[in-house]
Amino acid sequence: MKISTSWLADYISLEGLTPEEIAEKMTSGGIEIDSVEAVDKGVTGVVVGYVKEKTKHPDADKLNVCKIDVGTGEELQIVCGAANVDAGQYVPVATIGAKLPGDFAIKRAKLRGVESQGMICSALELGLNDKLLPKELQEGILVLPKLPLGKPIGEVLDLNTSVLELDLTPNRSDALSYIGVAYELAALTGHSVKLPDGKVFHAAEKTSDHLSVRIEAREECPHYSARFIKHVQVAPSPLWLQNRLMAAGIRPINNIVDVTNYVMLEYGQPLHAFDADRVADGGIIVRMAREGEELETLDGQQRKLQPHMLVIADSEKAIGLAGVMGGANSEVTADTVNIILESAKFDGSVVRRTSRQLGLRSEASLRFEKEVDPARVIPALDRAAALIAELGQGLVTEGIAQELIHAAQPAVIEVSLERIGRYLGIELSKLEVQTIFGRLGFDSEIRDGGLIKVQVPTRRSDITRDVDLIEEVARLYGYDNIPTTPIVGETTPGALTVPQAVRRELRRRLSDAGLNEVISYSFTAPARTKLFPELSQGAVPIRLAMPMSEERSVLRTSLLPQLLETAAYNRNRKNNDLALFEIGTVFHTDEAELTRLPQEKHRFAVLLTGLRRSAAWNRKAEKVDFYDAKGVLETVFDVLGLTGSVSYEAAAPGDLHPGRTAAVKLAGERGEQIVGYVGQLHPELQQESGLDDVYVAELDLAALYDAVDRDIVYRQLPRYPASDRDIAVTVDEAVPAAALAAAVQAAAGELLESVQVFDVYTGEKLGAGRKSVALALVYRHPERTLTDEEVTSAHAAAVAALEQSFSAELRK
């Protein structure tokens, strides 16, 4: 909503207030002013002039030489390039010494050898927004109606004003009008509101002879009123009216339509004028649209109506879409003689639904949607009728044709002084509170026990209960005047839950270890949900009803596709060495059409590619490999105290390298379960993605949350020495190292403290299909020093186990 201060001053005194001060007051009162714009952009010395004569410039085709009278008695010669300039026009003339916006000074000049004593101005040159002017005036000079010569243009065009742009919250539709804004400003300043004079002078004829109104849709239209105006002369509106409409951003059309718009801006009550001679039988019916009914709206569109849409009709046809837009079949045109002027209250949600469905929003629908003040239906009707009578020389017939299903009553709400104080944390006296309500224009009376009974006018339909009144008190008391206090009462301990603590720990550890955390979009392309099928576990991708793009149309079912996208994005920017992780939610459902919320799974994913360490003066570059990715998981499980419960097993899930991937298994109370995978990206997918070797892992965090061991229990440091032994064996290449270690652990028994693989080797000497694995074993007894015999015996058992189970050959 745009408010021009010179117009606003019709309804409330603005004395002593600059536009900036008004904006400041409004903003701190809760109606934010987005901008304050002076319409006058520094124009001086521009006056109304008359083009007495136009001749072609002798040396320039596109220039004209005009003789101009600006009322000084002296004739000015001005060279003008506008195509629309002509003799007999009244035009804005910038005389020598005039200033135009941008500090542009007009000087005596010669144009192609002809002297020019000033400039004829276009709207744009005067700093006006010319978007609302007819096209020919946008392209050429501004042509004015007949006006006194020499009159300063600022007075003519109402430039001495400022336009405030209101950013209204949805609850304050009462401020969608000048009078509404005046009431608000009155509450903030203590000034009083002056309402326009809506007195209608009647013709002798009775309205009922011409017009009747019947409401069929009684739920959707509680009040419909109309007046009949005869013998109007449709013409352009006077300049003051056009200026005001344009300041509000509305295009002037003719005196009838302009008045309906003007009064809508004044009262917030949308009005509509029908050509009475195109309404059959003068009978207005408010009803629901019929199945299959169509209507051409004023914008020239043929609209298919539906039975939930409210229409204005005559006995034969729909003539308007109630509260949204009039019909072309009853439009006021230059030939219109008699009009029916409508003012009504339509149900906001009906208007909203219709306007949404048809994609048709208007100044009227905007206001009806937010519920207009029922008390203004008649005052606005009368105000508009009076203005049309004045400006269009029409005759208003006697009486209003109307049907009132139910009249809105002002809300009566009770609130106690004590509750106001307790709610806000301030102490107010009865007098202070009553003064505030008085400024708002709310009648209030004090009842027993500090109870205040407040009558809220219908214009403030946003106020329905005591807390709404408390807000009014708070905002007029001033939010800044409310003190800051600490919460009194029972204290509560703050803490992280286990899952929250786990995610934080992972973030901290991994970033400390050199990985960068990413956050990717939850929306992805359908094709991407098909990648890594084992991670999606058969989930049906969930599709948005109205995605912004196909690329972001379904919810992710695993994190890795998004990480690949991130890797490709970085690769395109030459960020080749990546160690990334993400902790986020994936969305799983088995329903094709959601009837319940999907499962949201917390996942952890890692992506490594490029170099582990870049080359430097003292070292060679090292490429990442599978064991870096696995190492990240090992660190994760270590940190969570789960190392002992985790195992890795060769696996071949989709889109990962079948020879370089492991399923990650977690043993728990309910047995062993796969909680994720770690592996190299399948070479085909890698090539498609345009990436270097990529190693990835993704884990389900829920299982980890359940299993995490947060109890650190101290173990006594060993008091007796350990005995170290190594075993090197050759085995078949396919034998997993973990199996060897497990066999050794089982065979050597309790004395074996640890077993580590410290070398793996393949080579010609060993023969094809063989490998050498070296294990370091540490034997120890917690309570005594082991004897050589004990160690030797345990070690022999370990070696024997390897030989028996894996046909291992001991290397000497």
Residues 246-275 that bind other proteins (CB under 8 A): none
Q: Give strand pairing partners of 67.
A: 53, 77
Give least dist CB 512 to other proteins, A: 7
Among 105, 412, 519, 621, binds other proteins (CB under 8 A): 519
Residue 578 as a binder of other proteins (CB under 8 A): the answer is: yes
- CA distances (Å), 297 to each of 254, 324, 329, 338, 437, in order? 18, 9, 8, 20, 44
What CA–CA distance (Å, rounded) separates 133 from 491?
Answer: 65
| Cβ closest to other proteins, residue 497 vs residue 716 | 497
Give the angle 110-115-119 at the CA atoms, nearest 5°.
85
Residue 711 as a binder of other proteins (CB under 8 A): the answer is: no
Which positions from 550 through 569 interact with other proteins, judged by CB under 8 A?
552, 555, 566, 569
| Cβ closest to other proteins, residue 272 vs residue 352 | 352
| Cβ closest to other proteins, residue 547 vs residue 749 | 547
Give least dist CB 405 to other proteins, A: 21
Residue 674: name the closest of 664, 684, 682, 685 by CA: 664
Give least dist CB 810 to other proteins, A: 39
Among 334, 546, 712, 734, binds other proteins (CB under 8 A): 546
Give least dist CB 450 to other proteins, A: 16
What CA–CA distance (Å, rounded) separates 609 from 606?
Answer: 10
Give least dist CB 480 to other proteins, A: 7
Residue 448 as a binder of other proteins (CB under 8 A): the answer is: no
Give least dist CB 623 to other proteins, A: 15
Q: What is the DSSP letter of 572?
A: T
What CA–CA distance (Å, rounded) separates 5 from 10?
Answer: 9
| Cβ closest to other proteins, residue 57 vs residue 475 | 475
Which positions from 488 through 517 interact with other proteins, judged by CB under 8 A?
488-497, 500, 504, 507-508, 510-517
| Cβ closest to other proteins, residue 317 vs residue 507 | 507
Convert 425-452 to b/e letters by CB count within 10 Å (16 or more is b): eeebeeeebbebbebbbbebeeeeeeeb
3-state secondary structure of 688: helix
Give the angle 599-600-602 at the CA atoms, nearest 5°.
135
Residue 598 as a binder of other proteins (CB under 8 A): the answer is: yes
Conformation bin of residue 508: beta by default, left when phi > 0, alpha when psi is -120 to 50: alpha
| Cβ closest to other proteins, residue 253 vs residue 467 | 467
Which positions from 608 through 627 interact with other proteins, judged by CB under 8 A?
616-619
The residue length of the chain stands at: 812
Conformation bin of residue 399: beta by default, left when phi > 0, alpha when psi is -120 to 50: left
**What is the CA 337 to chain-centroid distance, rounded?**
47
Residue 739 as a binder of other proteins (CB under 8 A): the answer is: no
| Cβ closest to other proteins, residue 616 vs residue 734 | 616
Which positions from 341 through 400 interact with other proteins, judged by CB under 8 A?
348-349, 352-353, 369-370
Window contacting other proteins (CB under 8 A); options: 128-136, 257-265, 591-599, 620-628: 591-599
Among 66, 79, 93, 542, binds other proteins (CB under 8 A): 542
3-state secondary structure of 753: strand
Give least dist CB 545 to other proteins, A: 5
Give least dist CB 797 to other proteins, A: 42
Q: What is the DSSP letter of 619?
A: B
Give least dist CB 577 to other proteins, A: 8
Residue 457: name the closest of 195, 167, 218 by CA: 195
Residue 133 one-letter amino acid: L
What CA–CA distance (Å, rounded) separates 433 from 425?
Answer: 14
Strands (E) located in 269-379:
271-275, 283-288, 294-296, 302-304, 310-313, 318-321, 325-326, 339-345
Which positions from 293 through 352 interact with other proteins, judged by CB under 8 A?
348-349, 352
Binding mask 456-485 for other proteins (x = CB under 8 A): ---------x-xx-xx--xx---xx-xxxx
Residue 432 as a binder of other proteins (CB under 8 A): the answer is: no
Give least dist CB 665 to other proteins, A: 27
Which positions from 520 through 539 interact with other proteins, judged by CB under 8 A?
520-523
